[in-house]
C-alpha cells in the first residue's frame, strides 16, 4: 500500500471515531487508534491517562517521539472535534481527491500528516516529540495544561508546530481567549404562587444587557465578544426559574491586555448584580493569553523555506482569528506556529473536508521543517 493510501485509511478510521467535544466522547478509543498508528510508524508511543475532567470520556494524551538527543521540535495536535451537524459526518467518504467527514480538516487529517512527517524525517541530531491532546475544542484545561503543569514541555525546545486548518498559510500570531459562565441564582415557585419565587431569568436579563453594550464597545477596539452564545434557564414553563446562566466569550488581540478586558467584564457583572439585587456566580472556563512569534525568527524562516520547497512558493504569514494551542508553548518562549492543509472556512461545517494531496504535501513540510532545525552536521 502506498503512503497516500495508508494516510487516507488512517484518516478514515479516525473520522469514524466520534470524538465530539463537548461532551468529549470516545476519547480513549481514538487515542488507542493513534497509539497503534504511532507504533506502526516507529514513533515510540506512550499513553498518558489524565484525571477525570467534566464529561470527558477517558481523557488522555498520546505522546510519541522520533530520534534521540536533547534538542527538540514539537509536533502538537488534538483529536477531539466540534459537534457534528449530521451523524453521517462520522462516515468518511472519498470524492474528487478529498476526504469528507467531521474532523478531517480540524484536525485529524493534520494528525495523520504529522505522524507521517515525523516518521519520514530521516537522520536527526535531536528528536521530534509528538503531543496529541483530547480537549482543545473546550480550552485544553485537561490536556495541554497537563503537559505544561507536568513539565512535559521543554522550554529550551527549538520550535513547535500544530496542524490547524490554515489553508497553507502560517499562523504565527493568535488571539487570546476568555470564556466565562455567568449564573444567576433565584428561588423556584409554582406559577400560581410566583410572588414567592425569585426569577433568575429576569436577573439574567438585568446582567446580560450591560454586558452586551460592553461587548459592542470592545468590538470597536478589535476584541471580538459574544454574550449568550450558550444559555439556559429554569426547569419547566410553569415554574419560576431558580437558576439561569449564559456565556460570555472574547477573543483578544495580541495588542490588547487580556487581564484588563477580564477586569472590565467582571466589574460590569458585579455592578449590574448589585443594582439588580441578583445572586451571581462567575466561572472562568478559559483564560488563554495571546501568542506571537516573529516571522523573522529562525524557526519561522525554516518553516517558510520548507513550505516553499514543497509548494513552490513562500507561505503567507497571518494572525489566527481565534485562540491556538501554540500559546502553551509560546508562554515558555518556544517559537510556535500553526500550519495545516485543511481550510478554516469548512472545518466546522457540514461538508468539512481535507484535500488528500495537500495532506501528503503537509507531511513533507513537517518533515523538512524538523530536519532543517535538527539536521546532523
pLDDT in tens, 111-131: 999 999 999 999 999 999 999
Residues 207 and 337 reside in one and the same domain: no
Residues 223 and 188 reside in one and the same domain: yes
pLDDT tens digits for range 271-292:
999 999 999 999 998 888 899 9
Length of the chain measured in residues: 377
Residues 246 and 326 reside in one and the same domain: no
Specify the pTM.
Answer: 0.88
- Within a 13 Å sphere around the CA of 366, how many CA atoms are in the beta-carbon half? 36
CATH number for the domain including 118? 3.40.630.10
Residues 213 and 259 reside in one and the same domain: yes
Residues 6 or more apart whose CB falls under 8 angstroms from that of 259 comprise: none
ω into residue 107 within 30 of 0, thus cis?
A: yes
Please give the pLDDT value at position 254.
87
Residues 134 and 170 reside in one and the same domain: yes
Residues 278 and 130 reside in one and the same domain: no
Residues 73 and 154 reside in one and the same domain: yes
Residues 7 and 98 reside in one and the same domain: yes
Residues 237 and 163 reside in one and the same domain: no
Residues 78 and 123 reside in one and the same domain: yes
Domains in the chain, number: 2
Structural domain of 265: 176-288
* Domain end residue (candidates: 234, 262, 288): 288
The closest alpha carbon to 133, from 54, 213, 238, 56, belongs to 56
- What is the arithmetic mean of pLDDT over 179-202? 96
CATH number for the domain including 213? 3.30.70.360
Place 150 in a pLDDT band, splitting at 50, 70 and 90. very high
Residues 129 and 33 reside in one and the same domain: yes
* Domain end residue (candidates: 259, 288, 317): 288
Please give the pLDDT value at position 250.
93
* Domain end residue (candidates: 288, 319, 345): 288
The closest alpha carbon to 162, from 122, 114, 129, belongs to 114
Q: How many CB atoms lie within 10 A of CB 278?
A: 20
Residues 210 and 123 reside in one and the same domain: no
Amino acid at each position: 500500500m502506498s503512503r497516500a493510501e495508508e494516510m487516507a485509511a488512517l484518516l478514515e478510521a479516525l473520522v469514524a471515531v466520534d470524538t465530539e467535544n463537548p461532551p468529549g466522547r470516545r476519547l480513549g478509543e481514538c487515542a488507542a487508534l493513534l497509539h497503534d498508528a504511532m507504533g506502526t510508524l516507529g514513533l515510540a508511543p506512550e499513553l498518558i491517562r489524565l484525571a477525570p475532567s467534566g464529561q470527558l470520556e477517558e481523557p488522555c494524551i498520546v505522546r510519541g517521539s522520533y530520534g534521540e538527543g536533547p534538542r527538540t521540535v514539537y509536533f502538537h495536535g488534538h483529536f477531539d472535534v466540534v459537534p457534528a451537524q449530521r451523524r453521517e459526518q462520522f462516515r468518511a467518504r472519498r470524492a474528487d481527491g478529498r476526504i469528507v467527514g467531521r474532523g478531517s480538516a480540524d484536525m485529524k487529517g493534520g494528525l495523520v500528516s504529522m505522524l507521517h512527517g515525523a516518521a519520514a524525517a530521516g537522520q536527526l541530531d535531536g528528536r521530534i516529540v509528538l503531543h496529541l491532546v483530547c480537549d482543545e475544542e473546550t480550552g485544553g484545561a485537561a490536556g495541554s495544561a497537563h503537559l505544561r503543569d507536568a513539565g512535559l514541555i521543554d522550554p529550551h525546545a527549538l520550535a513547535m508546530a500544530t496542524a490547524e486548518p490554515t489553508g497553507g498559510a502560517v499562523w504565527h500570531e493568535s488571539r487570546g481567549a476568555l470564556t466565562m459562565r455567568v449564573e444567576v441564582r433565584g428561588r423556584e415557585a409554582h406559577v400560581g404562587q410566583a410572588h414567592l419565587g425569585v426569577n433568575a431569568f429576569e436577573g439574567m436579563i438585568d446582567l446580560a444587557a450591560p454586558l452586551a453594550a460592553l461587548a459592542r464597545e470592545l468590538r470597536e477596539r478589535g476584541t471580538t465578544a459574544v454574550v449568550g452564545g450558550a444559555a439556559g434557564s429554569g426547569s419547566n414553563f410553569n415554574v419560576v426559574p431558580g437558576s439561569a446562566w449564559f456565556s460570555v466569550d472574547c477573543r483578544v488581540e495580541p495588542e490588547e491586555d487580556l487581564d484588563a478586558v477580564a477586569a472590565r467584564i467582571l466589574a460590569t457583572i458585579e455592578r449590574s448584580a448589585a443594582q439588580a439585587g441578583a445572586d451571581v456566580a462567575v466561572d472562568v472556563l478559559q483564560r488563554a493569553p495571546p501568542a506571537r512569534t516573529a516571522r523573522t525568527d529562525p524557526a519561522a524562516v525554516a518553516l517558510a523555506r520548507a513550505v516553499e520547497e514543497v509548494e513552490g512558493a513562500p507561505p503567507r504569514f497571518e494572525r489566527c482569528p481565534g485562540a491556538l494551542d501554540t500559546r502553551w508553548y509560546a508562554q515558555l518562549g518556544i517559537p510556535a506556529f500553526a500550519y495545516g492543509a485543511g481550510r478554516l472556512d469548512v472545518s466546522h461545517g457540514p461538508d468539512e473536508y481535507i484535500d488528500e494531496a495537500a495532506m501528503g504535501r503537509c507531511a513533507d513540510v513537517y518533515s523538512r521543517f524538523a530536519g532543517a532545525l535538527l539536521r546532523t552536521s
